[in-house]
Amino acid sequence: MSAAAQPRLPIVVLISGNGSNLQTLIDAAARGELPVDIRAVISNRPAAYGLERARRAGIPAVVVNHGGYPGRAAFDAALQRAIDAHQPGLVVLAGFMRILTPEFVAHYHGRMLNVHPSLLPAFRGLDTHRRALEAGVKEHGVSIHFVTAELDGGPVVAQEKIPVLPGDDAESLAQRVQAAEHILYPRVIRWFAEGRLTLRENRAMLDGEPVKVLATNE
Ligand code: GRF
């Protein structure tokens, strides 16, 4: 089957900033290596550079500005409406920097992924590179996980370890982690688009088997 004839999964990508992960998805899809149709890119920040990346690729770029809503529930409801207008089979969080309500997360149960710059369960939350350096870990990395109501706590689908090198600072470490994200995230999204990756009873399943992820606390 040619790439053009392959069925493509409709996805919506949520961003807050630069959108380098978004760009890798746009590029992989354009090369025919990722069977997805990016129906929309939605940002909670109007100035997010990723919106420009979307426009350049001819993808609808939508702003749902969290500052325009009285609270988290109202924002999430508006965000949900904006997403569902595009009927995605998968919602991809790619540097989306908002905490989501349990109701929102439940609505996308089993069809929302996130990329997090640490070897989860280590270093949930923000500022992971600085915290990893301060903790003196020898290995840092990236995790892709299904999103559940627990912040950065959903079932991990894939991880990549990045060695911490002598002389690393948060920026140099972040650069190497991001390079790994750019390879790992499209791969995981391809699994999902191909129907190989599912969430079953709070476990990530690949080809019907629980995924084997790296042990992070060894
Ligand atoms: C990534 O490092 C991701 O792990 C974190 O936010 C960053 C987003 O980068 N959640 P970009 O906007 O995709 O360039």
Query: Which DSSP category does 202 fall into?
Result: T
- Residue 114 Cα to ligand 1 midpoint, Å, equals 10
pLDDT tens-digit readout, 137-190? 999 999 999 999 999 999 999 999 999 999 999 999 999 999 999 999 999 999
The position carrying tokens 């990045």 is 162
Grade residue 1 by pLDDT with cuts at 50, 70 and 90: low
Query: Which DSSP category does 154 fall into?
Result: S
Report, as an integer, the average pLDDT of 56-60.
98
Could you list the beta-strand ranges (E) of 137-200: 139-146, 156-163, 197-200
Mutation probe of ligand 1 site: the residue of 21, 124, 152 with most atoms within 8 A of C-beta:
21
Residue 4 has pLDDT above 90, yes or no: no
- Residue 95 Cα to ligand 1 midpoint, Å, equals 4
Report, as an integer, the average pLDDT of 93-107.
97
142's CB contacts (< 8 A; 6+ apart) are: 115, 116, 117, 118, 119, 159, 160, 162, 177, 180, 181, 184
* Whether pTM exceeds 0.85: yes
User: Would you state the structure tokens that stand for residue 188, as one six-digit string?
Assistant: 């995981």
Atom of ligand 1 nearest to the CA of 115: 4
Residue 53 has pLDDT above 80, yes or no: yes
- Residue 1 Cα to ligand 1 midpoint, Å, equals 33
Residue 217 has pLDDT above 50, yes or no: no
Atom of ligand 1 nearest to the CA of 94: 13
Q: What are the residue numbers of the active site?
A: 116
Atom of ligand 1 nearest to the CA of 114: 10
Report, as an integer, the average pLDDT of 186-212.
96
The CATH architecture of the domain made up of 3-210 is 3-Layer(aba) Sandwich (3.40)
Q: How far is CA 96 from CA 7, 62, 113, 191, in A?
A: 27, 14, 11, 21
Please list every protein residue whose CB sits less than 6 Å from any atom of ligand 1: 15, 17-22, 50, 94-95, 115-117, 178, 181
Please report, for the chain, the start and end positions of each structural domain, with discontinuous segments joined by +.
3-210
In this structure, are strands 209-210 and 112-116 parallel, antiparallel, or unpaired? unpaired
- Residue 123 Cα to ligand 1 midpoint, Å, equals 15
pLDDT tens-digit readout, 88-97? 999 999 999 9
